[in-house]
Structure 1
Amino acid sequence: MSNVNGSIQQPRVIGSPKSEDTLKQGFFKKAMRKIVQGLTSWEAMCLVIGVLFGRAMILTNLTPFILPFFATVGLLRPKRRFLAFFATLLGAITLSGWQTLFTVLSLVVYMILRAGVVRVSNREEARLLPYIVFAAGIISRLGFDVFRNGTLIPTQEMLAIVEAGLSFLLCLIFLQSMPLFTTKTRKRALKTEEIICFIILLASTLTGTMGLSYHGVALDHVLTRYSVLVFAYVGGAAIGATVGVVVGLIMSLANVAGLFQMSLLAFSGLLGGLLKEGKRWGVGFGLIIGTLLIGLYGQGYNQLFNTTAESIIAFVLFLLTPRVLLSRLASFIPGTKEYQQQQQQYLKKIRDVTASRVEQFSSLFQALSTSFNHQPTTNSEDQEHQVDVFLSDVTEKTCQHCFKKEYCWIKNFDKTYGYMNAIMQETKEEPMIKSAKLRRDWMHHCIKPEKVVDVIYEEQQHFKEKIKFKHSMQESRRLVADQLMGVSQVMGDFAKEIQRERDTHQQQEEQILFKLQEIGLDVENVDIYNLEEGSVDIDMTIPRDDHGESEKVIAPILSDILGESIVIKKRVEPDVVNGYGLVTFGSAKAYEIETGVAHTAKGGSWISGDNYSTFELGGGKYALAISDGMGNGERAHVESYETLKLLSKVLKSGIDETIAIKSINSILSLRSTDEIFSTLDLVMVDLQNARAKFLKIGSNPSFVKRGNKVMMIEAGNLPMGIIQDFDVEVVDEQLKAGDLLIMMSDGILEAPRHVENTEMWIKRKIKELKTEHPQEIADVLLEEVIRSSDGAIEDDMTIVVSRIQHHTPKWAAIPTYSHDHKKMSKAQ
């Protein structure tokens, strides 16, 4: 068979070896997943933990774990209360009959107290639970001791208070850690308190395995070391050492003779976490080394064999642990790769949802634009219908009450209709029939010829207004459609930016960090967000930059490594003297613009009707604009200022420049009924390739000086605000480094007296300039223009001069590495 592209596809053979291997692997993964889900189900863990808590004892005969466990399960899962009761009772049976009796007594006392307190109190049960556990623990222990011994010994009273206090604390801990097994919401990072509570819960559970051994190999030793291996592998040295200390401490409370186990577990967790780069074998090697060192110190050669055997068995169990179980545990611990991947997936989901919503809005605006842009086509039938409606209005005012109505419109309909249609064409400008034959025929046909002609002329003026208004509405709809389409394009581009994920540049980050540290620079961290040419974005954490190392050394080195000019985009100084600050490096623009401005108001006053503006746009573009309001003074100043303000906001939003100018023109034309106009001279320069777009709305020509050559750039567009609909003529021009761009308002060209061709005169003055400094050029040209008008300033004058030049950072790159290294950073 063939696919859409025409390539041949091989038929899939179900019985092929590759297919069988794939099926086996899939079956194995599903089976392991089912086993892990069964082992980690809440009911199974509740049963196992309950049995172990029923067996767990500390300080010879204290059992502070039963009541907190039962109370917490009853609060979180009320329907599983009897499962917890059965599990703890089963664990107590494995110890002795007295322990079984105490377990039943303590649980019954707790349930009676809880029922009474919850019925009387109005507070939440979770707040009262530790106190109920404390009271039930004292009552049950004292009652059990009296029943067993017949009397109450003071030391037993103290032990009862200690046991109840431990139950109180363990209840608080279990209320923090047990919900981690019950929640089915989205995975989240564990807080430090939750991690510690979880470790205490784990250590308390392992206490129930004490006393179980086989040929000198203790089960509690194997399981505690296995736990340390697991946490050291998923959390690193800090988590591994913490688990070792907490588990060893709680286990030593149950058996004081095994106090050295705390040192063994803590040291093994630290070594295993430091060697986690060696995967499971590295972590296991850390446990074996810790066992040999601490084992010799704590027990000598006699117990070394059994201790080593326990560590080996724990290591084998660790090797047999499914990867999915370790990954699931690691996803809860901040700083792990699994946790970061989970966070990336969550952020990607949020990003996709946001982008999808923005795309929906983009599609909505696009649909609205299409709806507004739909213009009904005007065919001959529509034109005939309009003529019929027009003539119906005329006949209603003239022929409706005429006694010859039946003669004209029934017996001679075609003749009368033809006369009126011809008269309508003749009286477009004035109420008079120019054709002598038509006038003579009409005089013989109609008894009210002059009145009909006058009515046709009057109705035709109203008809013109209707047509003009309809045309204006159509143009307004088209303008709204263009604006909606522009917004749709901006939102579509924004959705694409949202969906763009940060590429992982871990290898490049390590390479840059190594090279900078190799030459002696103290760089704490390197984060690369983008390595695309022209859009490099790198963050570095460095000490306080008092001597400018980031600008003088780091930026040139990055420029040499990445093969393009890199500059500092942002700098955040540290808050403390010896702290670390953040420096953001980014791509420098290929070109830069230096601008000089000279301007004066009419008669030398303070307020000018001209305004100018220079601002940066997104995507490495730079805009220069001059606006000249109609007339002079404050009103013209406000008009030109508002024009530039609107222009800046609209262009910075990302809307196309032609749509932006049309939108501004519509706003200016509809904002006031007064005849307020303003010109606009806009140049947008791409700083990456020096490509320029000139948009001139009623403005004067601009000039580009390149060496000894002067070019004039002009376009013919009406000033803004005169009409609502006009086509914006855009002139593209490729600029070069060293070009001088001169923009000016109309007061400059109108000022020179006794000059017939002012444009050629300005062009000659620009060509004769000896300087290339923009500010000097602007000052010289303004002075020349004022001198040519005998010192009179009869209009507002503004000159903006910009020089395009290659961008060279202050500290240029000094090659320090080979060309191969330059390739390595971006290619990998």
Structure 2
Amino acid sequence: TNTIMNALNQLLASYKQYSLCTTSVDTSKALIAEEFNGVSKLLLSLADETKDLVTFNEDLEKKIIEELNYINVLSTEVYVYQKNDKMVWCTITLRTSDLDNPKLLDVLTKNFGTKMCQKICEPSNVHGLSVATFAPAPKYDCIFGTSGTQKSGNDVSGDSYSFIRLNNNKILLSVCDGMGSGEDAQKISDTTISLIENFYRADFDDETILSSVNKLLAMQMTENYSTLDICVIDLQNALGDFVKVGAPESLIKHADGIDIVEGTGALPIGILEDIKPSIVKKTLCANDIVILASDGILDAFDGAEVLQNYVNNLKINNPQELSNMILEKATALSNGDPKDDMTVLCARIFVNV
């Protein structure tokens, strides 16, 4: 009997391993298909852009070179790209040491009639020179602050956060809470945040990004679950996309009150093969503050409404100070003994003048 049971157990273990491998292969195929679909969308977008007529304004290029040389900013080449008679961007080859000259942006702003900002800067093939690309500055800009602490008794936090500027005048804010706490949770959340950042930088759409990251995490043999709270702010029109996957509520602090952004109760990322994220669009105003927090913060306050009342009574516009105050209050409510990792990320948008 023992021999038969041992044989059955071995067969069962072999079948289980085969089933896992088969599932992993199927998931890999689906992931590759989604990636190709995302790439095809990008290629179609690039194809549409090539249809636009791009011209150069040589007269303006010569004028900019002369004015830059007048303020002792040595520029060897200036290219002004226009699309449909509107300036799109300007590329200048200049001394690396002149990049910090405040008069550089003043000259460009005067000639283009709109505030300019530096987008990209790369070293030139010539030593001591750099190639900088400038474009019209978006209507709004954003600053942020963050605070966090680990669960009592742990050395590291299982929460991760991100604040990055994307190429299309957008800001990505995200808070990720890895399953559990400690080093394992930290690895999960760091991996999730890194994937999210790279996909957004590649300009994939929300659906492709979340589905791909979910499948990548689900392919692992270990339990890689994490909640994900994302806010993408368009600095051109102050529109915010709040994307939640198992994440708690977020807050938007206005001058005259506070809004709560709720999710739809979606499961954390990495559990199921298909996910249904909650996506909410909000119109923001100048000096609004977006507050993303992990569930450790919300649990300490005993819910979003208590946190809402607390933040509403704070007359603070500095996002870093606001983050510190929220964390300090959450820690105090936990009697100095956090029961979970706590992370809060605050970002304030303002008119870019």
TM-score range, shorter chain: 0.7 to 0.9
1:738 counterpart SS class: coil
Task: Answer yes or no: is 1:635 the counterpart of 2:184.
Answer: yes
Task: Answer yes or no: is 1:800 the counterpart of 2:345.
Answer: yes
1:174 match: none
1:519-534 → structure 2 map (5 Å cutoff)? 524-531=75-82
1:650 counterpart SS class: helix
Q: 1:561 aligns with which of 103, 111, 124?
A: 111
Task: Answer yes or no: is 1:625 the counterpart of 2:174.
Answer: yes
2:226 match: 678
2:340 counterpart SS class: coil
Query: Structure 1 residues 701 and 509 mapped into 2: Cα distance closer, same or farther (>3 Å)?
Result: same
TM-score by length of 1: 0.37
State the identity %.
29
Q: Shift of residue 794 of structure 1?
A: 0.8
1:603 counterpart SS class: coil
The one-letter code sitting in structure 1 at the alignment partner of 2:39 is V
1:730 match: 279
2:89 match: 536
C-alpha separation in 2, matches of 1:571 and 1:745? 37
1:37-436 → structure 2 map (5 Å cutoff)? none
The one-letter code sitting in structure 1 at the alignment partner of 2:161 is Y
Is the CA contact (8 Å cut-off) linking 1:551 and 1:568 kept in structure 2? no
Task: Answer yes or no: is 1:485 the counterpart of 2:30.
Answer: no
Is the CA contact (8 Å cut-off) linking 2:80 and 2:87 kept in structure 1? no
Q: Deviations over 1:132-151 (max 9, x none)?
A: xxxxxxxxxxxxxxxxxxxx
C-alpha separation in 1, matches of 2:200 and 2:151? 30
The one-letter code sitting in structure 1 at the alignment partner of 2:98 is D
2:248 counterpart SS class: coil
1:331 match: none
Task: Answer yes or no: is 1:649 the counterpart of 2:213.
Answer: no
C-alpha separation in 1, matches of 2:224 and 2:117? 45
C-alpha separation in 2, matches of 1:544 and 1:775? 32
1:536 counterpart SS class: strand
1:783-798 → structure 2 map (5 Å cutoff)? 783-798=328-343
Query: Structure 1 residues 508 and 677 mapped into 2: Cα distance closer, same or farther (>3 Å)?
Result: same
C-alpha separation in 1, matches of 2:151 and 2:42? 41
Query: Structure 1 residues 520 and 733 mapped into 2: Cα distance closer, same or farther (>3 Å)?
Result: closer
C-alpha separation in 1, matches of 2:31 and 2:130? 49
Query: Structure 1 residues 543 and 671 mapped into 2: Cα distance closer, same or farther (>3 Å)?
Result: closer
2:19 match: none
Q: Shift of residue 574 of structure 1?
A: 11
Q: 1:698 aligns with which of 236, 246, 254?
A: 246
1:504 match: 56
Is the CA contact (8 Å cut-off) linking 2:56 and 2:82 kept in structure 1? no
C-alpha separation in 2, matches of 1:706 and 1:571? 39
The one-letter code sitting in structure 2 at the alignment partner of 1:779 is N
Q: Shift of residue 586 of structure 1?
A: 3.1
Query: Structure 1 residues 730 and 530 mapped into 2: Cα distance closer, same or farther (>3 Å)?
Result: same
Q: 1:587 aligns with which of 108, 123, 136?
A: 136
C-alpha separation in 2, matches of 1:564 and 1:788? 49
Kindly indicate which of the two structures has a greater share of residues assigned to helix.
1
C-alpha separation in 2, matches of 1:574 and 1:721? 45
Q: Deviations over 1:316-374 (max 9, x none)?
A: xxxxxxxxxxxxxxxxxxxxxxxxxxxxxxxxxxxxxxxxxxxxxxxxxxxxxxxxxxx
C-alpha separation in 1, matches of 2:248 and 2:71? 58
1:184 match: none
Q: 1:766 aligns with which of 311, 314, 337?
A: 311
The one-letter code sitting in structure 1 at the alignment partner of 2:112 is L
Q: Shift of residue 536 of structure 1?
A: 1.8
Answer 1 or 2: higher relative contact order, Cα 8 Å, separation at least 6.
2
C-alpha separation in 1, matches of 2:224 and 2:75? 60
C-alpha separation in 2, matches of 1:607 and 1:729? 29
Q: Shift of residue 544 of structure 1?
A: 5.5
Q: 2:217 aligns with which of 668, 679, 683?
A: 668
1:503 counterpart SS class: strand
2:173 counterpart SS class: strand
2:152 counterpart SS class: helix
1:551 match: 102
1:733-752 → structure 2 map (5 Å cutoff)? 733-752=282-301
1:778 counterpart SS class: helix
1:493 counterpart SS class: helix
Q: Shift of residue 793 of structure 1?
A: 0.8
Q: Shift of residue 607 of structure 1?
A: 1.0
Is the CA contact (8 Å cut-off) linking 1:522 and 1:543 kept in structure 2? no
Task: Answer yes or no: is 1:607 the counterpart of 2:156.
Answer: yes
**Over aligned residues, Cα RMSD in angstroms?**
3.3
Is the CA contact (8 Å cut-off) linking 1:526 and 1:540 kept in structure 2? yes
C-alpha separation in 1, matches of 2:334 and 2:97? 58
Is the CA contact (8 Å cut-off) linking 1:475 and 1:725 kept in structure 2? no
Q: Shift of residue 575 of structure 1?
A: 7.8
TM-score by length of 2: 0.81
Query: Structure 1 residues 540 and 478 mapped into 2: Cα distance closer, same or farther (>3 Å)?
Result: closer
2:325 match: 780
C-alpha separation in 2, matches of 1:516 and 1:476? 54
Query: Structure 1 residues 503 and 776 mapped into 2: Cα distance closer, same or farther (>3 Å)?
Result: same
Is the CA contact (8 Å cut-off) linking 2:228 and 2:247 kept in structure 1? yes
The one-letter code sitting in structure 1 at the alignment partner of 2:231 is V
Q: Deviations over 1:777-825 (max 9, x none)?
A: 01101111111122221110000011111224xxxxxxxxxxxxxxxxx
Query: Structure 1 residues 527 and 502 mapped into 2: Cα distance closer, same or farther (>3 Å)?
Result: farther
C-alpha separation in 1, matches of 2:263 and 2:96? 54
C-alpha separation in 1, matches of 2:80 and 2:311? 46
C-alpha separation in 2, matches of 1:623 and 1:562? 28
Larger Rg: 1
2:309 counterpart SS class: helix
Query: Structure 1 residues 715 and 492 mapped into 2: Cα distance closer, same or farther (>3 Å)?
Result: same
Query: Structure 1 residues 487 and 694 mapped into 2: Cα distance closer, same or farther (>3 Å)?
Result: same
2:330 counterpart SS class: helix
Q: Deviations over 1:256-303 (max 9, x none)?
A: xxxxxxxxxxxxxxxxxxxxxxxxxxxxxxxxxxxxxxxxxxxxxxxx
Q: Deviations over 1:207-245 (max 9, x none)?
A: xxxxxxxxxxxxxxxxxxxxxxxxxxxxxxxxxxxxxxx
Query: Structure 1 residues 726 and 524 mapped into 2: Cα distance closer, same or farther (>3 Å)?
Result: closer
2:263 counterpart SS class: coil
Q: Shift of residue 651 of structure 1?
A: 1.9
Q: Which runs of 5+ in 1 are unaligned?
A: 1-471, 809-828
C-alpha separation in 1, matches of 2:202 and 2:330? 38
Is the CA contact (8 Å cut-off) linking 2:228 and 2:268 kept in structure 1? yes
Q: Shift of residue 727 of structure 1?
A: 2.2
Q: Which runs of 5+ in 2 are unaligned?
A: 1-23
Kindly indicate which of the two structures has a greater share of residues assigned to strand.
2
Is the CA contact (8 Å cut-off) linking 2:73 and 2:94 kept in structure 1? no
Q: 2:263 aligns with which of 715, 718, 726?
A: 715
C-alpha separation in 2, matches of 1:759 and 1:543? 49
Query: Structure 1 residues 522 and 712 mapped into 2: Cα distance closer, same or farther (>3 Å)?
Result: closer
C-alpha separation in 2, matches of 1:667 and 1:657? 15
